[in-house]
Amino acid sequence: MAPKKLTLDNRPSYRGEAVGTAIFTRVPSRQFRGEVPIVLKESQRFSACIVRIGQLEILVIALYGFANRHREGKRPNDLLLASIIPLICSSGLPFLVCGDFNEPVVKLLAFRFFRDMGVVEAFQWYKSRTGEDLPPTCAGSTRNDSAFMHPIVAELLMDMHVLSDNQFDPHSPLLIQLSTKMETQNCRAWKMPKTWAPFAPSQDLIAKFYKPINFEEFFSDPDVMTPDEVEQAFLLWSQKVENAVGAAIRKRHLDDPEGQPRKDLHSSFKGRCNFKQITSKPRQSGVKSDRHGGYSPPNEVFSLQSKQKIRQVRRLKTLLRHTSQSTRQ
């Protein structure tokens, strides 16, 4: 860090400027693969890494806000908080942001973005759970040393404490306890059918096979329906649409087998509006780094297809390397 003050006789000043952040962890962690803007990196007020808790990977970010002595007041801290939004959006990971914001983080304009995401702020969580306020974390008066987290991370919250017996300078550490029992937790999702847009028949042809639904035949009073009846109505309508598309594909295949090689609409393209088909699957995690210095993705990757592509790229690079060596020999 640059010296905080310059001495008159040019002697070295051993007290650095009040900047810098760090993340220490005892659980498995790795570097963040995303691209960090140079301005944010050179601010010396940002650190990030990926921490694994059970099967869950969390993007952990440490920030150090600007002191109130700066002329522009809250604006530098607002810009600092806003600058991490692209990183969080590009990673797609649940996140935990913590640090000394030098003012209440919930009062910054940029925090509205995180509030809309449903994040949980540490002091607000403790207040809503216990009905009491956590002790101040700085000089016994302010609570600017805080943290906020993604709702998935908030599910792991167990308790919080302010350790007044471990002070450094005027600060008292904020201790947040998380549960690490994540091995058996799965996420639930609807079954999403594939789109038929790439090979869809014309709208006029689909309209010939579509039969409108008379909802009075299925529901006693279509004007006043229960939520279950509304879901059933959507399901009936979507099935009619899918049947019409399937019939249009069969007709087009009979007329032009080369132009429409598909004989019918496969079952993988059906199932819209079926809100009962909820599947349970393990939470996805990122791609592991290659142990031998091979190809690693430039950002966090979570889909199975992307993982397969990365393995293929690694195989191709290995093959090209062996081919090049054989050619030289």
List the domains of the chain with CATH numbers: 29-184 (3.60.10.10), 188-282 (no CATH), 287-329 (no CATH)
Whole-angstrom distance, CA of residue 294 vs CA of residue 312 = 12
pLDDT in tens, 243-271: 999 999 999 999 999 989 999 999 999 98
Q: Please give the average per-residue pLDDT across 15-29, as a whole number.
A: 84
Question: Do residues 187 and 160 lie in contact, with contact meaning Cβ atoms separated by under 8 Å?
Answer: no
Burial class (CB within 10 angstroms; exposed 0-12, middle 13-18, buried 19+) of 235 = middle
Number of H helices, E strands in the chain: 9, 10
pLDDT in tens, 89-134: 888 889 999 998 888 889 999 999 999 889 999 999 999 988 888 8
Between 232 and 184, residue with greater pLDDT: 232
Q: What is the 3-state secondary structure (H, E, C) of 285-319?
A: CCCCCCCCCCCCCCCCCCCHHHHHHHHHHHHHHHH
Q: How confident is the model at residue 135 (pLDDT cuts 50, 70, 90)?
A: confident
pLDDT at 305: 42
3-state helix, strand, coil in the chain (%, to 5): 35, 20, 50
Whole-angstrom distance, CA of residue 195 vs CA of residue 268 = 9
Q: How confident is the model at residue 180 (pLDDT cuts 50, 70, 90)?
A: confident
Q: How confident is the model at residue 207 (pLDDT cuts 50, 70, 90)?
A: very high
Whole-angstrom distance, CA of residue 279 vs CA of residue 256 = 38
Q: How confident is the model at residue 37 (pLDDT cuts 50, 70, 90)?
A: confident
Between 198 and 4, residue with greater pLDDT: 198
Q: How confident is the model at residue 11 (pLDDT cuts 50, 70, 90)?
A: confident
pLDDT at 288: 60
End-to-end CA distance of the chain: 51
pLDDT at 290: 61
pLDDT at 84: 93
Between 6 and 89, residue with greater pLDDT: 89
pLDDT, averaged across the chain:
81
Strands (E), 179-291: 186-190, 278-282
